[in-house]
Amino acid sequence: MVRPHRIRTTPELLKDLRTLRVGVFCPRDHNGEELIRQLQRIGCQVQAFWPPPSELSEPFEVVFLAVKPETINLDLPWTKGDGGTTLLAVVNYENPTIVDAVLCFGATGVVAEPIRSFGVLSSLILARRLTAQLRQQKRRIEKLESKLLSARQISEAKAILMSSKGVSEHEAYAIIREQAMTKRVAIEDIATAIINANEILTAVGKPRTTA
């Protein structure tokens, strides 16, 4: 007997294909037409523009952008957004200039010309997942960075209180927290205020240097 194939339910990324708004920013030549037709077979909501617009008229979830000699120098601000749009590059050259442009536009997928219907679906799904993962990771990193910064500030503020007031670390933290509660601000803000005040007081206390 054959071992059962591991059966899966349908991945979420495949389920929303029919509501996906897709922009195709490619010349309306044979390749552009074929790409549009295949996306329509898949069932996406497709809109085509050429040349590539500098602003998105609609919140496209996915954009297929022709990365060709005539587009590599375009300034497309929407490609530098928050990662809400998945970008796939459509290329007909593979030289370093074009590959570099693909990277600069922040594409997470590539579709090569001549366009074949086979492969478009897989590229689309993979690029969507990569984009979503990158966005999630970016948000997580931002959160962690800000947490790290405030932890550093709090411990610095505690150190100031400990040396200037002669209190324990635990007491120093209690002071900061009480201040935050009384003034209804974040603990980090009190910590920052203590650090700033300390810097000023230290500067004032120092003898002036002469020129």
Partner 1 sequence: MANHDPIRVGVLFSKTGVTALIEQSQLSGTMLAISEINSAGGIDGREVVPVYYDPQSNPALHSVLAERLVLTDKVNVIFGCYMSSTRKTVLPVVEKWNRLLFYPTLYEGFEFSNNVIYTGAAPNQNSVQLADFMTTNFGSRMYIVGSNYIYPYESNRTMTELVLQRNGEKVGERYVALGATQEEFDPIIADIKKKKPSFIFSTVVGNSTQYLYKAYAEAGLNAKEMPIASLTTSEAEIREMGAELAAGHYTAAPYFQSLDNEVNAAVLASYRKLLGTDDVTTNMCWEAAYFQVHLYANAFRASGSDEIEALLPHLLGSEFLAPQGRVRIDPTTHHTCLYPRVGRANAKGQFTIVREAKRAVHPDPYLVTYSLGDWTARIDALDV
Residues that bind partner 1 in the complex, under the rule CB under 8 A: 1-5, 7-10, 14-15, 17-18, 37-38, 40-43, 117-118, 121
- In whole angstroms, the minimum distance from the beta carbon of 40 to partner 1 comes to 7
Which is closer to partner 1, CB of 117 or CB of 168? Answer: 117
Residue 107 CA: distances (Å) to CA of 20, 43, 69, 92, 201: 18, 22, 16, 15, 51
- In whole angstroms, the minimum distance from the beta carbon of 123 to partner 1 comes to 14
Residue 98 CA: distances (Å) to CA of 38, 48, 72, 104: 24, 22, 7, 10
* Torsion, CA 25, CA 61, CA 44, CA 55, rounded to 10: -30
- In whole angstroms, the minimum distance from the beta carbon of 100 to partner 1 comes to 32
Which is closer to partner 1, CB of 41 or CB of 152? Answer: 41
- In whole angstroms, the minimum distance from the beta carbon of 56 to partner 1 comes to 25
Q: Roughly what angle, to the nearest 10 degrees, separates helices 169-183 and 187-205?
A: 110
Which is closer to partner 1, CB of 15 or CB of 138? Answer: 15
Which is closer to partner 1, CB of 44 or CB of 190? Answer: 44
